[in-house]
Amino acid sequence: MIAKLLISADLEKINRKIGEILKEAGTSNPHSDLLYLDSTQKMGIEQAREIKKHLSFKPLQSKGKAVVLEEASNLTEEAQNALLKTLEELPEDAIFIMATDSESKLLPTVLSRCQIIRLQVTGYPPEARLAKGGSLQEKDYSQDVERLLRISVEQRFEYIEKLKDRKEFLHSLVSYFHQNLASHLTSGNTDYKNFLKELLQAEQWAAQNVNIRAILEYLMLSMPKEL
């Protein structure tokens, strides 16, 4: 089982999605097997210990224990680090849901252990998302990424050379691998997870104004083939 991280600035939408996930698992809020920490609660090392303790017990009524952090950005850095092993080794039937308006508020080590689900903007097509400043971006690079997984490094470099919006592509590349993380982890594909860590490092480089083309060319070298 892998933790889910919901990304949206709309708390109502987040709560609706949380409810759907819990319902599918036969759980609801409140429930004896559910630990629900809402957006008003502080989340320090004490809460991290409470989460680990909750997951260590056997479920009373459900198939597995469940934890929901309505606002994961409330987690202190110390608490995030304390939860790494818990996220890495979730019990088989456990449910762990976190939510925030931006993954930038969480440590890369936490992100690499989660399946990221970006909740779409109501009234717009599935591929649409809000960019900085509120403008809508329609470009969907998922088919391009899937093609890059099948072609040679030389062909990947040619693609990057012709690419117009390299920053947008880097963001989409990270999103693609996050969204497909769960299925590849269950198949035992460690190359996939290792590459995701490379992507998180690449985003940090981009934030430090390292040349985007150089970053993408490095990623094209390290990207596995046919994940």
Residue 122: per-residue pLDDT: 43
Q: Which one has a higher pLDDT value, 156 or 28?
A: 156
Does the pLDDT value for residue 133 go beyond 50?
A: no
Here the contacts of 196-200 (C-beta below 8 Å, separation 24 or greater) are 196/112, 197/108, 197/112, 198/222, 199/173, 199/174, 200/108, 200/111, 200/112, 200/174
Rounded Cα distance, 91 and 117, in Å: 21
Rounded Cα distance, 139 and 131, in Å: 11
Alpha carbon of residue 120 to chain centroid: 14
81 pLDDT band, cuts 50/70/90, is very high
Average pLDDT over residues 59-68: 85
Average pLDDT over residues 204-218: 87
Does the pLDDT value for residue 188 go beyond 70?
A: no
Residue 131: per-residue pLDDT: 41
Rounded Cα distance, 87 and 98, in Å: 11
In 3D, which of 149, 148, 150, 153 has the Cα closest to residue 221? 153
Residue 132: per-residue pLDDT: 39
Rounded Cα distance, 188 and 183, in Å: 9
State the architecture of 1-119 in CATH terms. 3-Layer(aba) Sandwich (3.40)
Percentage of the chain exceeding pLDDT 70: 84
Residue 159: per-residue pLDDT: 94
Residue 161: per-residue pLDDT: 94
Extended strands (E) in 94-217? 95-100, 114-118, 129-130, 136-137
183 pLDDT band, cuts 50/70/90, is low
One-letter amino acid at 46 equals E
Rounded Cα distance, 182 and 90, in Å: 13
Average pLDDT over residues 10-23: 88
Residue extents of the structural domains in the chain = 1-119, 129-227
Per DSSP, the three-state class of 114 is strand
Average pLDDT over residues 40-68: 89
Q: Over the stretch 92-104, which tens digit does the pLDDT of each residue have?
A: 888 999 998 877 7
β-pair partners for 128:
none
Residue 226: per-residue pLDDT: 67
Residue 181: per-residue pLDDT: 62
Out of 91-95, 108-112, 116-120, least confident range: 116-120
Rounded Cα distance, 148 and 220, in Å: 8
